[in-house]
Amino acid sequence: MAMNTVGVVGLGYVGLTMAVTLARKGFTVHGVDTSPAVLDALAQGRPHLYEPGLDEGLGTFLGDRLHVASSLPARGVEAAIICVSTPVNPETRGPELGNLRAAARHVAERCAPDTLVIVRSTVPVGGSRAAVLPELLSAWGRARLAFAPERTIQGQALRELEELPQVVGGLDLESGRAAAKLFERVTRRVVSVSSLEAAELVKLANNCHTDLIYSYGNEIALVAERWGLDPLEVIRAANLDYPRPDLAKPGFVGGACLSKDPYILISASRATGYTPWLVGQARGLNEHLPGHVAERLVAMIRSARGSADEHYGRCAFARHRTVRTSIVGRAPAAHVGASGDAALGQVGHRLRIEQRVVGDDQRRIDGARLERTPRRAKRFGSGDRPGKGRAVAADTKVDGEQGVHVVGKVLQHPERMQLRKTPIPRPRTVVPLI
């Protein structure tokens, strides 16, 4: 029998895009979240995050086929898709599955054994069986369980949810088939694999591979730098019409998934007695890059004393010793936001700049306060005068590339900042990452 009522547990980026997509495909969707801020925003019809098409989707379906609450309906749902966050512990870097267990408990309380439970959160291999299944079994005695990884990219999620092949693995044949049937109504192609664990590893393997190939571009850049060579020249020449895998361009590699999934794979592998050779090295190299870029940027800013306005400076703020810097990163917007901030935080730290950077959420990175403020890219670009100490940076585009601009107040070593009285309506210099 076709399933028509689906619960989505966790309405962050993954859950909300899934909920809207399911509603668009004709399902009745019950979205659940524990965060009052998320529920408040959605109750007012406002998405609490930005993804193209989400606004319109909510406008069309909310209160109609899409319902949002702090718990699933008492009569249960036919399928429940768990999309809660699965962070890694900042100290140990081990996965924290408390949200997943709580979500499974909630589904077990509100639903019945016939409910198909699908895990979509990223988990260590074996995570669905270890964290979700016991909660279902202890309430129901039996369970229908599947894992179906989310593999969309931010900015394209709604399109990709309908276009990407959907990998599905079941606890048993029947669970796998039921989950495949559900996703056949969402996307063009379903790829069934033989187990929960195979599907879990697909997700981690995809993301760690991305981390790895990007890290090689960074490796080549760091090597080229030692000879004073331009890494982009080398990489362009290496790739041109050469029928072998392309080298990646160097740049920041970060974002919510790439910065944690390698650790999830490493910790899951270690539990089996195997430590991956490459995954940790690649992540380490990618994490080393923001610091390296910051060092270079600081060196460039310092050596540019005397011609400061080419690199930074702003007339009205010379008094306040304001520095304006542009960093341009690799194109994927999602990455530049998070890891560009990381480098800027480090630049600020090294220059002792008190800077407040517009980020996607409230974070603290290496001494820089990152806070959510309205996007100001346009005003900033047209010479908007930021007030003293206000957040004045924005993700924006410079020369067609995604960039991040910072204006900060120099607290110490002001002698290093020679600011000239020349208005700079647009950032003057785009400092390449490498």
Axis-axis angle for helices 196-226, 261-270 (nearest 10)? 120
Q: Binder to ligand NAD among 6, 9, 54, 268 (CB under 6 A)? A: 9
- The position carrying tokens 């003057």 is 428
Binding mask 367-396 for ligand NAD (x = CB under 6 A): ------------------------------
Q: How far is the CB of 20 from ligand NAD (least distance, A)?
A: 13
Q: How far is the CB of 154 from ligand NAD (least distance, A)?
A: 5
Residue 62 interacting with ligand NAD (CB under 6 A): no
C-alpha–C-alpha distance, residues 208 and 257, integer Å:
9
Residue 13 interacting with ligand NAD (CB under 6 A): yes
Choose the binding region for ligand NAD from 73-81, 100-108, 222-230, 299-307 (rule: CB under 6 A).
100-108
Dihedral sign for Cα atoms in the order 202, 203, 205, 207: positive
- The position carrying tokens 């910072």 is 406
Residue nearest to ligand NAD (CB): 12
C-alpha–C-alpha distance, residues 76 and 73, integer Å:
5
Q: Which is nearer to ligand NAD, 40 or 233 (CB)?
A: 40
Residues in region 108-137 near ligand NAD by CB under 6 A = 121-122
Decide: 118 and 182 in contact? Cβ < 8 Å. Answer: yes
Q: Which is nearer to ligand NAD, 154 or 322 (CB)?
A: 154
Radius of gyration, CA atoms only, the chain: 24
Distances (CA, A) of 262 to 1, 126, 355, 425: 39, 15, 30, 41
Residue 54 interacting with ligand NAD (CB under 6 A): no
Q: Which is nearer to ligand NAD, 57 or 348 (CB)?
A: 57
Paired with 149 in beta bridges are none
Residue 211 interacting with ligand NAD (CB under 6 A): no
Q: Which is nearer to ligand NAD, 123 or 406 (CB)?
A: 123
Q: How far is the CB of 362 from ligand NAD (least distance, A)?
A: 13
Judged by CB under 6 A, the number of residues near ligand NAD is: 26
Q: How far is the CB of 162 from ligand NAD (least distance, A)?
A: 16
Q: Which is nearer to ligand NAD, 14 or 133 (CB)?
A: 14
Q: How far is the CB of 50 from ligand NAD (least distance, A)?
A: 12
Dihedral sign for Cα atoms in the order 182, 148, 6, 64: negative
Q: How far is the CB of 344 from ligand NAD (least distance, A)?
A: 22
Distances (CA, A) of 431 to 3, 230, 328, 344: 53, 14, 7, 12
Residues in region 144-203 near ligand NAD by CB under 6 A = 150, 154
- Taking every pair of Cα atoms in the chain, the longest distance, rounded to a whole number of angstroms, is 75
Q: Which is nearer to ligand NAD, 292 or 330 (CB)?
A: 330
C-alpha–C-alpha distance, residues 199 and 86, integer Å:
16
Query: b/e string for 113-146 if b means 16 or more Cβ within 10 A?
Result: eebbbbbbbbbbbebbbebbbebbeebbeebbbb
C-alpha–C-alpha distance, residues 19 and 6, integer Å:
9
Which residues fall within 8 angstroms of residue 278, CB to CB, at 6 or more apart?
Answer: 212
Q: Binder to ligand NAD among 21, 99, 128, 215 (CB under 6 A)? A: 99
Q: Which is nearer to ligand NAD, 11 or 132 (CB)?
A: 11
Q: How far is the CB of 386 from ligand NAD (least distance, A)?
A: 29
Decide: 305 and 323 in contact? Cβ < 8 Å. Answer: no
Residues in region 78-97 near ligand NAD by CB under 6 A = 83-86
Residues in region 240-259 near ligand NAD by CB under 6 A = 256-257
Residue type for position 75: R
Q: Which is nearer to ligand NAD, 106 or 292 (CB)?
A: 106
Binding interface with ligand NAD (CB under 6 A)? 9-15, 32-35, 38, 83-86, 99, 102-103, 106, 121-122, 150, 154, 256-257
